[in-house]
Amino acid sequence: MDFGVHLPQLGRSADRRALITWAEEADRLGLHSGWVSDHIAWPRDISSKYPYTDDGSFPGGFDMPWLDPLGTLMFVAARTERLRLGTTVLILGYRPPVLTAKWMATLDVLSEGRAILGVGVGWMREEFEVIGMPFDHRGARADEQLEVFEALFTQPTPSYDGSYYAFEEVGFSPKPRQEPLPIWVGGNSEAAYRRTARFGEAFHAAFEPIETVTEEWAAVGRACDAIGRDRGAVSLSVRMYLDADARMAPEVSVQGTADEMADTIGRWRDIGVTHILLDVVAGGGSEGRLDALRAFMTEVAAGH
């Protein structure tokens, strides 16, 4: 089992010192990957429903500090040597695709092949409107963006002609170091499962009970079958809380004693999970959360 950690890119701890400390410690502890989330700006009043809370409320809050995800990963790349660098998830519709492709190619080159492009279509109509980007047909637009990335990353003189995006032959260099750049797809719809089968190296579920993820993973398998792709070519990742104080719902957390945590991990492994992204919840501020991560890696992860 590989373990990743969400870096302190948002909230009161989102500053230079915390990012350096967490990134370097994650590298030292042997974590597989460090991750950041994607929000830019949003209004005080939001009617769109967040898909990962019971009541649909957005947990970010109106005035939460939130560093840019790609800029943060560039910074972290310079302070680490082994840690892979991922987005959980980058909202494709927030940025023009050629610009996103340049960011990701740059990150992969400067990190020497450690980037993971986690992608999603987004849910907050209000944020799209603030940014000035279209919310309509965002799934179809996302699929075209992924086709644009493929063209830019693989063709010597790429071009693209789609329904939403088009450009004549262009020079695009450097290409990413990884061939192909790994794409992990998030979402909980049939379109997301088809997108995973078509483009994804992994399906990346977030904050959902094991029964739900089991059903989603089966749907990804069926989507692979439908296009003749080997199911084994796609892996399964889940994002969960590492909950040192049992504050969060146990269905979406790794919590309890070291043995209880190990049992939880075993159940997720049994359904096919090979990567767990941990959002650390613990008292004591940034250092308290980091202590909880150190304990997990020493007492639990070492056996998995």
Domain borders along the chain are 2-303
Looking at the chain, the whole-number percentage of residues with pLDDT higher than 70 is: 100
Enumerate the β-bridge partners of residue 240.
278
- pLDDT band, residue 223 (cuts 50/70/90): very high
Sole residue written with tokens 């483009």: 199
Q: What is the mean pLDDT of residues 146-163?
A: 98
H helices of the chain, in order, are 16-29, 69-77, 97-110, 125-131, 138-154, 190-199, 210-227, 258-270, 285-299
Q: Looking at residue 111, what DSSP letter applies?
A: T
The tens digit of pLDDT for each residue in 158-168 reads 999 999 999 99
- The 10s digit of each residue's pLDDT in 75-116 is 999 999 999 999 999 999 999 999 999 999 999 999 999 999
Digit-coded pLDDT (tens) for 1-33: 999 999 999 999 899 999 999 999 999 999 999
Residue 139 burial (10 A CB sphere; 0-12, 13-18, 19+)? middle
Read off the pLDDT of each residue in 115-121 and give the average, rounded to a whole number.
Answer: 98
Tell whether pTM > 0.75: yes
Confidence of residue 303 (pLDDT cuts 50, 70, 90): confident
Q: Extract the tokens encoding 130.
A: 């603030």
CATH fold of the domain at 2-303: TIM Barrel (3.20.20)
pLDDT at position 304 over 80? no
The predicted structure's pLDDT at residue 29: 98
**φ/ψ (deg, to 5) at 65:** -60, 135
Share of the chain above pLDDT 90, in %: 95
Mean pLDDT of 215-236: 98
Q: Own/partner pairs for 149-156, CB < 8 Å, 24+ apart?
A: 149/97, 149/100, 149/101, 149/104, 149/117, 149/181, 149/183, 150/180, 150/199, 152/98, 152/101, 152/105, 153/101, 153/105, 153/179, 153/180, 153/181, 154/179, 154/180
Looking at this protein, which amino acid is placed at residue 148? V
Digit-coded pLDDT (tens) for 64-76 = 999 999 999 999 9
Residue 187 gets the label, from left (phi > 0), alpha (psi -120 to 50) or beta, of left
